[in-house]
Structure 1
Amino acid sequence: MSIGHEIIGTGPIKVIVLHGWLMDSSVWNWAKRHLNTTDFSYAFMDYRGYGLSRNLGGDITIPEMANDGLELANSLGWEEFHVLGHSMGGAAAQYAAGVSTGQVKSIAAFTPVGSTGFPLDDATKSGLENSFNKDGLTGIFSMVSGHELEQELLNTLVEYSIDTIGNEIVYKDYFRNWINANFRNVVTGSEVPALAVLGATDPLITKKYADNSIGTDFSNCKIEIMEGVGHYPIVEKPVESVNIWEDFFKSKD
């Protein structure tokens, strides 16, 4: 069984798209309607255990996520391409850039987890790990957005999460995967152009965190901060987000 994915667009600029922890590629739905499908071709991938790849087993690691993306590009006949990632997917995008041999032209990572993971105290770790339920997910989405999401949008995100993650085991395994990430040796000194986009009200992926992770690991990294958004700029301000990454990819293509 090949990795699940959706192709949107027919343009010459190729992009592999990697989602985060809390849902499958549905997290990009708000942005999809604003894509430039003439200049770009997008492959929205679902990790093993999520969405279209719900029944596909695996190791549940960032290297596997990244390599699945690279293999997907190869299966599509894409010799060169960009990688777009959100949160945990931002970590996978970095790994893909680190191990690729010239195929990855640039990466754009929105609120990205870094190469050394994300340290959490035991109480927070336990709370997040056991949050795969309506109340738990509502609390997480609200917290990471700075408590700014409208109720209808918040409810939709929770529904997508429950509907598109295979089961609680998958949820927990991917959680441990990103908080314990450890691949700095793979990316240190990478010259692949990188763009990190942060949300001004995101309590997790702060400017200080990004400076010490992707901003340190990639020698050609630009960090931008979007005002009025938290951990989900691609949902909260989809038009602006699309413009940011498409302009960046065009400049590096």
Structure 2
Amino acid sequence: MIKLGHKIIGTGKKNIIVLHELMGNYKNYEPIFPYLNTDDFTFVFVDLRGYGLSKDIEGVYSCVEASNDIKNLITQLDLEDVVLIAHSMSTLIAQKTALIDSRISKLILITPIPPTGIKLSQIAKDKLIDEMKENKNKIEEIVYSASKRHNKTWAKSRIKMAYESSILNARIGYMKMYLETDFSQEVENIKIPIKIIVGKYDFPIFALKSVTKLFFPYYKDLEIIECQEAGHYPMLECPVYFASKIEEFAKE
């Protein structure tokens, strides 16, 4: 059984596991570190297979594999009553983990993907995956599209982070995951509270209106808030706000 690489911050009794997105690793969250409540909470920032502290762990990079990896890590760390935070791509993994592990007591999903995955035509899906496989300019295209409000220094920083955070096969694998995974017929079994944060300036598919439409048919105990000063990366764009909100949600 593998053990995912992770970074632990804090000594509090309440456990929070934090997952990253497609083009980053635990370092995406470094701007919030100074503002975390480390007395009441223990934060476990996890890197999935092929990313960051888990770069040397190979896999098939599927939702089933990743959710079982998280479940195993919870056991390995001897944790109970876990709040699970996930961002973008990993929100799909977090929802799946909540289906297979009763120790998850709450989900906090950042700019999330619904349990249906992202629905595209086969042509569009193949094109996106092929462009990621080429490993040439696709990351730049995504970053610049999502960073129009910010300067070029910000964009260059995000691009550098994306390339350094993971291996190519992992990025391709997890992109396939959210384009091909659909467990929407199972999620009625998720009874725990779910909090969602979206960014006002994010891509349309992650906007408040879209996320509301995509999530409310599946979940009863659900709250969605919109960060007014962020796009797809509230933890990077609004770190104080982000740290405050996750603390507020986790304490409820």
- Fold match by TM threshold 0.5: yes
Determine the C-alpha separation between the residues in 2 that align with 1:162 and 1:201. Answer: 23
SS at match of 1:216: coil
Among 120, 139, 142, the alignment partner of 1:140 is 142
224-233 or 183-192, larger mean C-alpha shift: 183-192
1:202 corresponding residue in structure 2: 202
Give the partner amino acid of 2:141.
Answer: G
* Residues 189, 218 of structure 1: alpha-carbon distance in 2 compared, 3 angstrom cutoff: farther
Deviation at 1:46, TM superposition (A): 0.7
Tell me the secondary structure at the aligned position of residue 179 of structure 1.
helix
1:229 corresponds in structure 2 to: 230
Task: Indicate the residue corresponding to 2:98 in structure 1.
Answer: 97
Alignment of 1:6-21 (within 5 A): 6-21=7-22
What's the CA shift for 1:125? 5.4
Aligned length: 248
TM (norm. structure 2) is 0.91
Q: Distance in 2 between matches of 1:88 and 1:9?
A: 26
Distance in 1 (CA, whole Å) between partners of 2:200 and 2:125 is 22
In the alignment, the residues of structure 2 paired with residue 209 and residue 94 of structure 1 have an alpha-carbon distance, to the nearest angstrom, of 18
Identity %: 26
Aligned-pair CA distance for 1:27: 1.4
Q: Distance in 2 between matches of 1:124 and 1:137?
A: 16
- Residues 77 and 113 of structure 1: CA distance in aligned 2, closer, same or farther (over 3 Å): same
- The aligned runs of 1:157-168 (5 Å cut-off) are 157-166=158-167, 168=168
Q: 2: CA distance between counterparts of 1:81 and 1:44? A: 13
Q: Indicate if the aligned counterparts of 1:11 and 1:37 stay in contact, CA closer than 8 A.
A: yes
The answer as to 2:64 corresponding to 1:74 is: no
Secondary structure at the aligned position of 2:224 is classed as: strand
Mapped contact 2:23–2:162 kept (Cα < 8 A): yes
Structure 1: distance between partners of 2:11 and 2:136: 38
Residue type at the aligned position of 1:201: Y
Aligned AA for 1:37? Answer: T
Unaligned runs of 5+ in 2: none
Match of 2:247 in 1: 246
Which deviates the most, 3-12 or 127-136? 127-136
1:155 equivalent to 2:153? Answer: no
> Could you say what secondary structure the match of 2:35 adopts?
coil
Query: Would you say the 8 A contact 2:125–2:179 is kept in 1?
Result: no
Assess if the C-alpha contact under 8 Å between 2:21 and 2:87 holds in 1: yes
Structure 1, unpaired ranges of 5+: none
Q: State the superposition RMSD in angstroms.
A: 1.9
Distance 1:242 1:70 in 2: 24
Q: 1:64 to 1:209 in 2, by over 3 A?
A: farther
Indicate the residue corresponding to 1:193 in structure 2: 193
**Distance across 2 between alignment mates of 1:124 and 1:228:** 30
Query: Which residue type is aligned with residue 138 of structure 1?
Result: E
Residues of 1 paired with 2:139 and 2:126: CA distance?
14
What is the Cα deviation at residue 188 of structure 1? Answer: 2.2
- One-letter code of the match for 1:175? M
Relative to the length of structure 1, the TM-score reads 0.91
Contact 1:3 1:48 in 2 (8 A): yes
Partner of 1:173: 173
Compute the displacement of 1:135 (Å).
3.4
Please state how far the C-alpha of 1:108 moved relative to its aligned partner.
0.5
Cα deviation for residue 12 of structure 1 reads 0.9
Aligned to 1:215: 216
Distance change (3 Å), C-alpha of 1:175 and 1:95:
same
Which residue identity is paired with 1:222? E
What is the alpha-carbon distance in structure 2 between the residues aligned to residue 77 and residue 14 of structure 1? 11
